[in-house]
Amino acid sequence: MDISKEKAILQSVVAVAPYIPLFIDEPVSVAVTNKTGFIYNQPCAEIPLACELGAPFPPDATPLMVIESGERRAREVPPHVYGIPFMSYAIPLREDGEVVGCLMIAKSVEKLRGVKDAISSLSQEVEQVVAAVNEITEGVQVASATNQSVYGLMDNLLAEMQRMNEILSVINKFSNSTKILGLNASIEAARAGTAGKGFAVVAREIERLSGNTTESAQAIGSMLGTIETQVNEMSEKSREATDAFTQQAASLEEIAATIENLNGDVKVIENYIKQL
């Protein structure tokens, strides 16, 4: 085609078109059109566009859309238009305010598809991580609440044990009183002599009852002391576990918030790539 008859802007763009691929870090095809068809085509091996110079635009061609609308256009061109799929980026060329043609650059669609697939996969993985972290956070919160309940139950148990100690104190007083009563009964039986033999038997039973009561109270007190020590240790461990659960829940919430922000960024990138 005789380029010299084209508009000056088209001649200038055709002159610099061979250098455009040098500024792009991937293989591209470059084409220049006037209002009716292609006047320059520089294909690359990866995108061998079949553009016959001077032939009219095929239906659904990007240059035709750009010339008709006067606006830049970036789109994925289906294979039925030029024989292969590719990403086309086209801008209108104007002279004296009138659109006289366009400059089109074609890139491989495979790389963009790879990026789209990677971003989509990343988005799904981030969503799965967010769901997993939220589930773990809920589990930690439930465990913390359960542990807090156990901690409260042990406090109640300690309170009940305190009441039992008070009851033991009453029993010990009763035992002491009974012991004194038995001692007094023995003294009175001794004074009565032979007549007080029956009373002496009663006095010995009272003293034995007092002794048994004292021994039982001491045994129960020892057991309660051991239990109280163990419950206090369990209560302290429960409190430490509750504090740890609380800290873990707070940390997980921070992680979840960070991942949510990351997921938002991924969505923005994904939406941007979808527009390409």
- Which residue ranges form the domains of the chain, and what is each CATH number? 3-107 (3.30.450.20), 115-275 (1.10.287.950)
**Which residues of the chain fall short of a pLDDT of 50?**
none
Report phi then psi at 59, rounded to 5: -60, 145
pTM over cut 0.85: no
Residue 141, amino acid: Q
Tens digit of each residue's pLDDT (9 = 90 or more) over 61-83: 899 999 999 999 988 887 777 77
Q: How far apart are CA 92 and CA 71, in angstroms?
A: 6
Tens digit of each residue's pLDDT (9 = 90 or more) over 181-209: 666 666 666 666 665 556 566 666 666 66
pLDDT (0 to 100) of residue 273: 57
